[in-house]
Chain A
Amino acid sequence: MKFENLNENYLKRIFKDEPEWFVSDRLKSLKLFNQAKEDSFRYGSTMKTDVSDIKISDYESKINLVLKNNDSRIIIKDFKKALTEDDELIRKFFMKEIKTRMELLHKAIVQEGLLIYIPKNVKVKEDITIDYEFLTNSFDYLLVIAEENSELNIIERLRSKEIFRSNVVEIYAGRNSKVNFYSIQDMDNNCINFSVKRSFAGKDSECNFYNFDFGSKLNYSDTYSELVEEGSCSKIKGIYFGNEKQHFNLASSTHHKSRNTNSDIFTRGILDDNSNIIYRGLVKIYENAENSNGYQKEDALILSENAKADSIPNLEINNHDVKCSHSSSISHLDKDKLFYLMSRGIDYKECTKIMTEGFLMEVLNKIDKEEIKEEIKQLIKSKIK
């Protein structure tokens, strides 16, 4: 991965209107980025996400963003504005943990972004929807702070031209709050997309991610869910569909840091043509997290001869008073089932669609929202040739 024209002067010039503390943070991050070793994107001896061809020289982002929110109690602000008006919040929550060199870069040149703040006891009935259309390379950020007893659903839809995108989403779920985050990524098949989503769940809160990955030639998505306080829970449900030469690198992890915490990871995906995936799952139980449950399940269905799936499920358990399980499977279209369906007068192509949709149904059924379910079904259908 090559990032050209990136230096202090450039940053100082394009971020000249920002508060000094933040620009100084950017510069620090850039320095660390320049010192850090390249992320390897290697797993074991054979699995690898190839980033060698990536060369970026444009950093100024332009997004067509359409936001829908009908609840005046919610505060939604442009990230730039929040930097001056809510600098305490930003200082407290913005990218406190950095794991990869990509994230260092993100912190240095993050531009477009939103802060969504839900005050105490506010239960939002209507979904907040954010439709992004990326017109240029993008380094975008979303911070969600849900205060005590609040509830909301956020749906983001991602569409784009052929661009490079780096994204970070951070969700802080306060005590007894409930946040559902739906992400429908249907970007152009020539995009490069790096997305890191993190949630931090407070006491008795619930924070769920629903990831739908369809687009990009390289789609890296890391969903990290931390059960910080007692009684919290989280679900990560995912559906992906790769075709052409798409490469997906998807990671889902839950981190139980307190007692009585529950997590459930469930991903199903389809691979067609020459597409391939590296899927990494992790349930980690910390020493003091007794009486916790963590599940993960990952299934891939392969439609073509040249598609490929690699799955790396992991459990790290440091407390014995817990229940954990993991399973993963990779299967091909069952010829006998196909024959059975075709024998009822339905042609091959339609039968493939029926079986593919059927395979994904178990995850689709976990979505309470009918309209999203339909939207995803349509996207699945449009991807099957």
Chain B
Amino acid sequence: MILKTKNLNVSTKDNLDILHNINLNVNEGEVVVIMGPNGSGKSTLANILMGNPNYKIDSGEIIYNNEKINELSPDERARKGIFLSFQYPAEISGVTISNFLRTALSSIKGEKISIISFKKLLRKKMQMLKIDEKFADRYLNEGFSGGEKKKTEILQMFVLEPKLCILDETDSGLDVDSLKIVGEGVNKLKDGKRSFLIITHYNRILDYIKPNRVYVMKKGKVVKEGSSKLAFELEKKGYEDIE
């Protein structure tokens, strides 16, 4: 079991309750999908898993690799192998992708990485994702289109090679070609050990990735759990009928 949440109740800093009794499991090597309409709490879940201080856990547990991580800071979680591809990545002025990612990778690996060997590594990963090499020296997400931001998130995931990849609507905002690159990219990262928690409300990315399990969220609750078939049913019928 790589990730497990037990009766997780989450509210905002201003005590607005958002998530209620969330129980979910992600096993080693699995692809787990969370679907649900806008406002159902998917991003909040992703953020609390990553340790966003805007939210607090009122009760319940997040267990990652048999360790309770409720109190860990975001950077500690990242160093343990958790990664979040943000639905709305922040724009960081004055910080180049290349410098930033080198710092991040050094910090996760716990060792210094030379500029030269990092540039080589970054170039390779950018080629895999068909990202223009010039982006390496651009400021992180500043002035990027929605699609460019999403691809940059995946680039970071490729470089940092996390154990648990949480993708929050990475498929929205991507054109067909980019979606294909990202979808195939995620498949390349699948190695039998790495796990994925994929949040989507279009399930377009499911054209490329077969999930082991699907959870449906509504109004801050998990209302249904099923196999990959569930995703395609939802595609046809929508969320209205599910309670």
Chain B window 77-97, contacts with chain A (Cβ cutoff 8 Å), 1 for yes, 0 for no:
111000110100111111100
Contact residues in A for B84 (Cβ distance below 8 Å) = 343
Using known A-B contacts A335-B54, A355-B95, determine if residue A345 contacts B90 with beta carbons closer than 8 Å.
no
In the complex, A182→B51 CA distance in Å? 44
**CB-CB contacts below 8 Å: B109-144 with A:** 139
The reply to whether A354 and B75 contact each other, CB–CB distance below 8 Å, is: no
Chain A window 349-385, contacts with chain B (Cβ cutoff 8 Å), 1 for yes, 0 for no:
0110011011111100000000000000000000000
Using known A-B contacts A343-B84, A344-B156, A348-B73, determine if residue A359 contacts B108 with beta carbons closer than 8 Å.
no
Q: Which residue from A345, A346, A347, A358 sits with its C-beta under 8 Å from B93?
A: A358
User: Smallest CB–CB gap between B125 and chain A, Å?
Assistant: 15
Contact residues in A for B167 (Cβ distance below 8 Å) = none
Using known A-B contacts A347-B75, A362-B94, determine if residue A339 contacts B160 with beta carbons closer than 8 Å.
no
Q: Which residue from A336, A348, A354, A359 sits with its C-beta under 8 Å from B100?
A: A354
Contact residues in A for B51 (Cβ distance below 8 Å) = 339, 343
Contact residues in B for A354 (Cβ distance below 8 Å) = 92, 95, 100, 103
Using known A-B contacts A350-B107, A354-B103, A361-B94, determine if residue A345 contacts B73 with beta carbons closer than 8 Å.
no
Contact residues in B for A350 (Cβ distance below 8 Å) = 103, 107
Chain B window 140-173, contacts with chain A (Cβ cutoff 8 Å), 1 for yes, 0 for no:
0000000000000000100010000000000000
Contact residues in B for A361 (Cβ distance below 8 Å) = 93-95, 139
In the complex, A348→B104 CA distance in Å? 12
In the complex, A340→B52 CA distance in Å? 9
Q: Which residue from A335, A341, A343 sits with its C-beta under 8 Å from B92?
A: A341
Using known A-B contacts A342-B78, A348-B73, A348-B75, determine if residue A336 contacts B104 with beta carbons closer than 8 Å.
no
**CB-CB contacts below 8 Å: B54-80 with A:** 54, 73-75, 77-79
User: Smallest CB–CB gap between B139 and chain A, Å?
Assistant: 7
User: Smallest CB–CB gap between B164 and chain A, Å?
Assistant: 12
In the complex, A342→B76 CA distance in Å? 9
The reply to whether A346 and B73 contact each other, CB–CB distance below 8 Å, is: no
Q: Which residue of A lies closest to B78 (CB)?
A: A345
Flag whether B214 is at the interface (Cβ < 8 A).
no
Flag whether A337 is at the interface (Cβ < 8 A).
yes
Contact residues in B for A337 (Cβ distance below 8 Å) = 90-92
In the complex, A341→B86 CA distance in Å? 11
A/B interface sample: 9 pairs, CB < 8 A:
A336-B54, A337-B91, A340-B92, A341-B92, A345-B75, A345-B108, A346-B75, A346-B104, A354-B92
Which 5 A-B pairs give the minimum distances between C-beta atoms?
A361-B94, A358-B94, A345-B78, A344-B104, A340-B90
